[in-house]
Amino acid sequence: MRIVVLGSTGSIGTQTLDVARWRGFRVVGLAAGKNAERLAEQIRAFEPEIVYAHPEARAQLEDAFPGVRWVETPEEIAAYPAEAAVAAIPGLAGLGPTREAVRSGKRVALANKEAMVAAGPLIWALAEESGAELLPVDSEHSALFQAMREEPREAIAELILTASGGPFLKAPEDLSEVTPEMALCHPRWQMGKKVTVDSATLFNKGLEVLEAKEFFRLPLEKIRVLVHPEAYIHGLVRFNDGNLKAQLGPTDMRLFIQYALTYPERPETPLLGAPIPEALHLFPPDTERFPALLVAYEAGRKGPLAQVAVNAADEVAVEAFLSGKIPFTKIPELLARVVAEAPSGPLDWERLFEVDAWARARARELL
C-alpha cells in the first residue's frame, strides 16, 4: 500500500510510520512541521517521493536531500497518488490537507478531530462525491466504529466515550493554581501541547463528543462520556435491547492506526498479548470541576457554526494559557462566552472560515 502521512513528525505521525514498518507500506509522501531533525530521520528511513515541511525546516534540509521533491503546501501531499492518507495535522490547520485527501478519493485515516468538528457535513459530502473512505484513528472513535460494525444503526441507543480524566482528576482541589507545566504532565499519554491541555480541561473529550456526533451522524443526546482512569475500555455502544458492546485493549495508538489502514483485516502486531488491568472503573465526569465538557455539548446543541467557533476559541485560549496570559480556569469561561455569542445558520466552506476568524478575534478580545 502507498500512503502519505500528514503531520509525520507529531505523535500520530511517528506512530503511523511504526505501523508502516510493521506492514511494509510504501510511504510516498510526508508533510511535517518545524522538527527538521525528526523529518531528516524519516526521509532517510522511508525515501519518500514528495515532502512538505515548514519553511524553517525545509531551509535546513533541502540541500541535504536533493532527490526529494519539495512542495509548497501540505495539500499537495494530501492529493498525491496513494491508496491512503493519515490526517494527523492538529487543529484547524489540518482541515485543508484533510479536505484535499478526501477530495482525491483516498482512504483517509482521520486523526484530526477538528476537521470533523468544524466541517463534518462538508467532509462527508466531499467523500460521497469522490468515493473516499473515512476511518477514525482516535481510540474512542475507532472503538465505537468497531463495536458498531455489522450492527443496524436504528438499534443504537447510545454511544459512550471514555475519558482517562487527565492529570487533575482528583487534585489539586483549586484548579486556578494549575500551571502550564502541571497541565502538560498527562499521567497516561504523550501528546502535543494543545491536546494535552485539552485533556486536562476535559475539553478534548468535548471535541470527541462533537466528532462522534458528526462522524457517526447521530443525535448529540445519544452520546455521553464516562471517566475510565485505566484507559483500557475505549468506547461502548448500548443497543435498544439493553445489550452493550465494548472495545477494549492496550493504550497504544498504533493499534487504531493499523486498523484504519488495514480495515477490514486485522493483521498481527507486536502488541499481541499485552497485559489486561486487574480492575476497571467507570464513573460520570465531574462537570462542575470540568465545565469545558458542558460547553462542548452546548456548542453541539446550538449548531455547526457554534462548533466552528468553540474549536477556534479553544486554540486561542490554550495558547494564551501556555504563554501565561490567562489562568487554567479561564479557558472554559472564555469558551462559554464565545459559544453564547456564536452565530447560527447553515454551514458552508465560506461561512466556516468567516466564523473561525470571528471566533479567534473575539477570543483574543476576551483574554
Q: pLDDT digit string (tens) for 108-164? A: 999 999 999 999 999 999 999 999 999 999 999 999 999 999 999 999 999 999 999
pLDDT at 188 over 80: no
Look at residues 306, 316, 315, 367 and name the one whose alpha carbon lies nearest to residue 338. Answer: 306
Output the average pLDDT for the chain.
96
* pLDDT tops 80 at residue 367: yes
Distance CA 273, CA 364 (A): 49
Statement: residue 189 has pLDDT above 90: no
pLDDT (average), residues 86-103? 96
pLDDT for 274 beyond 80:
yes
Long-range contacts of 220-224 (CB under 8 A, 24+ apart): 220/297, 220/300, 220/301, 222/156, 222/157, 222/158, 222/159, 223/158, 223/159, 223/160, 223/161, 224/158, 224/159, 224/160, 224/161
- For residue 260, the one-letter residue type is A
pLDDT > 90 in the chain, percent: 96
Q: What is the pLDDT of residue 251?
A: 87
239 by DSSP, 3-state: which? Answer: strand
Contact predicate 98/147, CB 8 Å: no
> How sure is the predictor about 273, in pLDDT bands with cuts at 50, 70 and 90?
confident
Q: In terms of C-beta distances under 8 Å and separation of at least 24 residues, what long-range contacts does 344-347 make, across chains too?
A: 344/302, 344/303, 344/305, 344/306, 345/303, 345/305, 346/304, 347/119, 347/121, 347/122, 347/304, 347/305, 347/308
Per DSSP, the three-state class of 28 is strand
Q: Specify the pLDDT at position 172.
A: 95
In this predicted structure, the answer to whether residue 286 has a pLDDT above a threshold of 90 is: yes
- Terminal alpha carbon distance of the chain: 47
> What local confidence, expressed as pLDDT, does residue 157 receive?
98
What pLDDT, on the 0 to 100 scale, is given for residue 186?
84
Note the pLDDT tens digit of each residue in 210-255.
Answer: 999 999 999 999 999 999 999 999 999 999 999 999 999 998 999 9
Higher confidence at residue 271 or residue 82?
82
* Cis-peptide, bond into residue 66, ω within 30° of zero: no
* Domains of the chain as residue ranges with CATH: 2-136 (3.40.50.720), 150-249+275-366 (1.10.1740.10)
Q: Check residue 190 and give its pLDDT.
A: 73
User: Which residues have a Cβ under 8 Å from the Cβ of 245 and sit 6 or more positions away?
Assistant: 147, 148, 151, 236, 237, 239
